[in-house]
C-alpha cells in the first residue's frame, strides 16, 4: 500500500506519546509479570529443595548485581571494582532500619519490603554519588584502585560499628559478627522481579538517546565531550543508578538471609562481579545475566563435589589434557583447515559447558524434582551447548555436535583408563592412594581454572557486545547474516 500523507499522519497520531497510556501500560505489565512470577514461585517451592532454592536465589541476586555493574563498567566504561560497597550499604541500611522498627511499626510485610528496598536504593545511590563525584577526575586503573579502596573502606567501617569505643557515635551494626534480627520477608520471586526491572532499565536506557551518550563516554570521552555530551553528568548518573540497583539487591538479600555479615561483602565479591561482566561481554546485558547465573550456579554447584582421591584427580587431569588435544584434531577434520582459526575459540568452552551441563543434569536427576523441570533443564543445557558449538552455518553443525559427543565419550574412557592405570603402578599408587583432597579446595581450583580457560578462549566475553534477540538466534542458525546489534 502506498503511504499517502493521510495514512502517515494517522499512524503517527495513533502512536503519539500519551502519559496516561504510558503509565497504565507500564504498571499493567509490571503487575502481570509480578503475578506470573508469584505463580512460578508457588509452583517451584514444593518442587525445589531448600538447598536448590538457595542456589537459585543466590544466582538471581548475582545476576542482578552483574546487570547493575554492567551499567557502570560495561555501558559507561568506568572501571569500578568496589561494587560490593553499594551492595553492602543497601543491605546494612535497610537491615538496620528493619531490625529496629519492623516489629513496632505494624506495617504489613508486603508493604514493608518495597519500602525497605527503596530505602536501600536511596542509601546506596547516595553512596554511589559520593563515589561518583570524585571518580570524575580519575581514569582507567586509578579509578579501579580508588573504587576498590572505597569498597574496602565501607567494609572496614561497618566491621568497626559494634557499639563499642571505636564506633561512630556508638552505632551498633553488629560489628564483625554481622547485623542480626532482620525479618525474613524476601521470597525468590522478588529477586526475579528485581532482575527483570534491572534488565528493563538498562535495556530501555540503551534504546534511547540517553543510552547513546553513555556509550559515547565509553568509546571516547574526549569525543563525547566535544559533541556536547556532558560526560561528567553521565558518569555520575551511571554510578548512581548502578549503585541504586545494587542497593535494592542488598536490601532483598538482607531480608532473605536475616543477617548481614561484612564477610559476605569482601573484595572477592567485587572481583567476582567484574569477572561476571567481563565474561558475559562488557556492555551486553544478556551476557551479564548469563554469566551471572552460570558462574554462581557453577560456584555453588561445585560445593556438591565429594572429596576426591589423588588418583582420580590426576586421572581426570590427564583425561582433560588428552580431550582438549583430541578435540582440536577432531574439529580440524570436520571443518577443514580454513575455518579453524575462528571456531577453535569455541571448542574448549563448549566442551566445558557440555561437561557442566551433563554434570548438572546428573546431579539434578537425583534431586527431588518434578519430571518437567528435569527435562526442561536437560533440553536447555543441551540447546545452550549446541548454540555454543554451532558454526555460522547449520550444515556443519551436526557433525560438530556429534564430534563433541565422541570426544566426550572418549574423555570418560580415558579418565577411567588412567585411573585404573595409576592404581596398577604400585609405587605411584602407594604415594597417591592415601592422599584425599578436600572438596572446598577443589571447588575453587576448578572454578578459577574455568574462569581462566573461558577468558583465554574468548577474551571478548561470551556474548561480546551482542544482545539476545531473535535476529541473533537467526544469525546463529545461519538464516540471516549474523548481526549482533552492537550497541
Which parts of this chain interact with another protein (CB under 8 A)? 79, 134, 137-142, 144-146, 148-150, 152-153, 156-157, 159-160, 166, 267, 271, 274-275, 278-279, 282, 437-438, 441-445, 447-449, 451-452, 455-456, 459-461
| Angle, CA 199 vertex, CA 272 and CA 96 arms, to 5° | 65
- Whole-number minimum distance, CB 450 to another protein, in Å? 8
Closest CA to 454 of 295, 270, 274: 295
- Whole-number minimum distance, CB 275 to another protein, in Å? 5
**Cβ proximity to another protein, 308 vs 382, nearer residue:** 308
**Cβ proximity to another protein, 54 vs 344, nearer residue:** 344
- 301-334 exposure pattern, b = at least 16 Cβ within 10 A, e = fewer: bbeebeebbbbbbbbbebbbebbbebbeebbeeb
**Cβ proximity to another protein, 308 vs 482, nearer residue:** 308
- Whole-number minimum distance, CB 119 to another protein, in Å? 25
Report phi then psi at 223, rounded to 5. Answer: -65, -40
Task: Tell me if residue 89 falls in helix, strand or coil.
Answer: helix
| Angle, CA 392 vertex, CA 282 and CA 395 arms, to 5° | 155
339 burial via Cβ count (<10 Å: 0-12, 13-18, 19+)? middle
Please give the Cα distance from 387 to 375 (Å, whole number): 18
Helix pair 439-457, 285-301: axis angle to 10 deg: 150
- Whole-number minimum distance, CB 479 to another protein, in Å? 30
- Whole-number minimum distance, CB 152 to another protein, in Å? 5
**Cβ proximity to another protein, 373 vs 442, nearer residue:** 442
**Cβ proximity to another protein, 198 vs 276, nearer residue:** 276
CA trace torsion 451, 60, 89, 103 (10° rounding):
-150
**Cβ proximity to another protein, 299 vs 467, nearer residue:** 299
Task: Tell me if residue 436 falls in helix, strand or coil.
Answer: strand
- Whole-number minimum distance, CB 456 to another protein, in Å? 6
User: How many other CB atoms are there within 10 angstroms of residue 120's CB atom?
Assistant: 32
Closest CA to 54 of 187, 190, 185, 196: 187
- Whole-number minimum distance, CB 448 to another protein, in Å? 4
**Cβ proximity to another protein, 85 vs 241, nearer residue:** 85
Task: Tell me if residue 232 falls in helix, strand or coil.
Answer: helix
**Cβ proximity to another protein, 281 vs 403, nearer residue:** 281
- Whole-number minimum distance, CB 437 to another protein, in Å? 5
Residue 72 C-alpha cell reads as 557502570
Helix pair 140-160, 83-105: axis angle to 10 deg: 30
Amino acid at each position: 500500500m502506498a503511504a499517502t500523507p493521510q495514512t502517515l499522519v494517522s499512524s503517527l497520531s495513533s502512536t503519539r506519546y500519551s502519559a496516561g497510556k504510558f503509565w497504565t501500560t507500564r504498571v499493567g505489565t509490571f503487575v502481570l509479570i509480578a503475578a506470573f512470577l508469584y505463580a512460578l514461585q508457588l509452583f517451584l517451592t514444593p518442587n525445589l529443595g531448600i538447598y536448590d532454592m538457595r542456589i537459585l536465589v543466590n544466582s538471581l541476586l548475582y545476576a542482578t548485581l552483574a546487570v547493575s555493574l554492567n551499567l557502570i563498567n560495561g555501558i559507561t566504561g568506568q572501571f569500578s571494582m568496589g561494587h560490593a560497597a553499594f551492595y553492602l550499604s543497601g543491605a546494612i541500611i535497610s537491615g538496620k532500619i528493619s531490625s529496629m522498627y519492623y516489629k513496632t511499626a505494624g506495617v504489613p510485610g508486603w508493604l514493608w519490603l518495597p519500602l525497605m528496598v527503596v530505602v536501600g536504593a536511596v542509601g546506596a545511590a547516595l553512596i554511589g554519588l559520593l563515589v561518583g563525584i570524585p571518580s570524575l577526575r580519575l581514569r582507567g586503573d586509578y579509578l579501579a584502585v580508588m573504587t576498590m579502596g572505597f569498597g574496602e573502606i565501607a567494609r572496614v567501617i561497618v566491621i568497626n560499628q559494634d557499639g563499642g569505643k571505636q564506633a561512630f557515635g556508638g552505632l551498633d551494626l553488629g560489628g564483625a559478627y554481622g547485623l542480626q534480627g532482620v525479618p525474613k520477608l524476601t521470597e525468590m520471586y522478588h529477586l526475579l522481579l528485581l532482575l527483570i526491572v534491572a534488565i528493563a532499565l538498562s535495556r530501555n536506557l540503551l534504546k534511547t538517546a540517553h543510552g547513546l551518550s553513555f556509550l559515547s563516554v565509553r568509546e571516547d570521552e574526549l569525543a563525547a565531550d566535544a559533541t556536547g555530551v556532558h560526560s561528567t553528568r553521565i558518569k555520575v548518573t551511571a554510578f548512581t543508578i548502578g549503585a541504586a540497583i545494587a542497593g535494592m539487591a542488598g536490601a532483598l538479600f538482607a531480608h532473605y538471609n536475616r543477617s548481614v555479615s561484612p564477610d559476605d561483602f569482601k573484595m572477592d565479591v567485587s572481583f567476582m562481579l567484574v569477572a561476571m561482566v567481563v565474561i558475559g561481554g562488557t556492555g551486553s546485558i544478556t551476557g551479564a545475566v548469563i554469566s551471572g547465573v552460570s558462574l554462581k550456579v557453577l560456584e555453588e554447584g561445585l560445593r556438591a563435589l565429594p572429596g576426591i582421591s589423588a588418583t582420580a584427580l590426576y586421572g581426570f587431569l590427564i583425561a582433560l589434557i588428552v580431550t582438549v588435544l583430541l578435540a582440536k584434531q577432531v574439529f580440524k577434520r570436520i571443518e577443514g583447515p580454513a575455518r579453524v582459526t575462528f571456531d577453535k575459540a569455541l571448542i574448549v568452552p563448549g566442551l566445558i559447558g557440555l561437561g557442566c551441563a551433563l554434570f548438572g543434569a546428573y546431579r539434578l536427576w537425583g534431586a527431588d524434582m518434578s519430571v518437567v523441570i528435569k527435562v526442561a533443564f536437560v533440553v536447555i543445557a543441551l540447546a545452550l551447548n549446541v548454540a555454543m558449538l554451532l558454526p555460522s552455518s547449520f550444515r556443519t553443525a551436526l557433525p560438530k555436535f556429534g564430534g563433541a559427543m565422541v570426544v566426550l565419550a572418549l574423555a570418560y574412557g580415558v579418565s577411567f583408563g588412567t585411573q585404573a592405570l595409576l592404581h596398577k603402578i604400585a609405587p605411584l599408587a602407594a604415594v597417591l592412594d592415601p592422599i584425599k583432597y578436600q572438596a572446598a579446595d577443589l571447588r575453587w581450583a576448578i572454578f578459577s581454572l574455568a574462569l581462566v580457560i573461558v577468558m583465554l578462549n574468548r577474551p571478548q566475553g561470551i556474548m561480546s557486545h551482542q544482545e539476545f534477540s531473535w535476529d541473533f538466534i537467526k544469525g546463529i542458525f545461519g538464516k540471516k547474516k549474523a548481526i549482533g546489534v552492537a550497541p
